[in-house]
Structure 1
Amino acid sequence: MTKLLNALPLALIACTAAACSAAEDSTSGEPQFHNTSTAETSADNTESTEASSAPTSAKDKEGDSGLKELDKEDFIATNLGHATSTVYGVSSPNDRVACTVTEDQGLIGCSVMFADPPLYPATGQPLWLSNSVNFDADAGFYPNVKMGGDAAAPTPLEAGSTVTMNGVTFESVSEDEFTVKIDGHHFTVKDDGEYYSDTFPPQPDGEGKAMTGTICGDLGNGEYVYAKENGTNCARAMEVLEYYKNYDFAPMEGGNRGYLMEDDFSCSYNADPGWPDEPDYRWLGCSIEDGGAVVVLDPTARALVSEKGGQR
């Protein structure tokens, strides 16, 4: 009787891209996360200040942040002829971030050139390196993968300026620091593409459910458990993997893919749809009835994901 987990190599990564620190610690398999708190609240301006008698335009106005407030009308996108409402496009001075906002829906999303893209191992998705950031009213900002679709032609927000439209505020602190804020949440891209946010890395909610890309836990030896579906039950996933890890397979049981099926879950080593069905691209994944799915990734994963992504 052997423990198959020790006999089969895992082929993927341990560190969520934007979550990982720069290359200075790239030899470590442990994720290095940039997490900022939401403690940065604006000052309570209860005392009025003496205003200048001279009229000031929106473009000349300086807000509480010390940044020059620009007129949102300067950021209206004209390339989306099919749009049914006003669409705005805003980008960072260095073009690392480009966002779309609509007058009737708010923030649609932002494309981001991450220095170290967070992994977004969605079930059945051929690409796992995040290239965008979306917003969820409950979860806040989260990196994900966007494939195709129209985007508003963005207008760069010059350094030292800010603009707000439909509840979304953009702040261009410098040529290399750009922040997006909405409903008390924020994300910042700076330091040549490093990603920081009050909701990164994502955490399970009060019921223990996690969104795609959340690290549910650590199996040891640099092996991390990523949620592959929104609503994944991280607590149950870790119980399942601990059971699998310590399961004694009988002779011929499980075959060469380490398949194990119990009442409410199944686990095996397989390549996801869209990935080459080769040993290097086979990783341990588990599906849980009414509990989502997870994948176990080790430090070799990022190189494989990046290599495959570059071929597409």
Structure 2
Amino acid sequence: MALASAALNALFSYKPFFKLAAGKARGMIVERGEKIGYPWEPELARLRENDWESELLAVRDVNLEYPEYYLKPFHAYDNGNLSWDAALEVDLAAKSVHANVFDPEATSLDPDGDVKLRDSYHQKMLPMLRVSPGDVLDVGCATGLSTFGLHKVFPQAQVVGVDMSPYFVSVANYKLREASKASLPLQFVHSAGEFTGLPDKSFDLVSICLVCHELPRNATKQVVEEANRVLRIGGALSIMEMNPYSASLQRMVNNIFAFTAFKATEPYFDDYRTFKIEEAIQDCGFSFPAQVESSPNHRTMVAHKV
């Protein structure tokens, strides 16, 4: 298995192969999205009518330095998340990718799979929390799918979403304006999860939803350390992620063709699945995380700052 993984990594370092595999993977995601009732092009055409460059100027922190890992191609985009294509398509992609999340054999596709996965995360998280959060931080918020979900669960809390892509933050702000004419206690900030720039001990809950598998392990450690810094004593760190121990993910990893397609959009997954994240969380000043299954492929982990 180690030899096969090394061979795959060597293949993906060859740019023409990466582009071929990524293009095929993206095509499958688009096709599935349309199959479950989310036509790609009409929605993109609607979004492209907005003045996005003005949105970008309003949110971008020009002093933010992007780490090397963030500048590499992933998610089938040459520029990763630093592009309008990635930002405008991410919600559609989430609906497509998670259409079979509760049926890994893909015998049926559920258009609401992404919503159900996020709802399951919150349902599993709540009984494990030992704090009633008034201030919530959503790390790697993308265009706000996870942030809006946290607001629904904690409607009285102030929720802040941070993301390293100013393109994603621009779309999140656009969605916030579309969501309600009333002022919602939500804020989106262009910032790195590793170094948010937010004040010490200013949050009761830090949520990291479907982010860690997109990071090399050193970046994950830094994000967890930053979560510890911004949390108040007794505050909670909650993570929802793919479960590398699940039977269905193990089968995928052992299937060279399926794993090749997956790595075309998730090049850091190998690092994530071999990383003992539970131990890293504890090493960063948290209790050892409690964890439960959120879906056949996902787990929710909650740890508290000690």
Instruction: State the TM-score bracket (shorter-chain normalisation).
Output: under 0.3
The structure where strand makes up a greater share of residues is: 1
Larger RCO (CA within 8 A; separation ≥ 6): 1
**TM-score, structure 1 as length reference:** 0.22
**Larger helix proportion of the pair:** 2
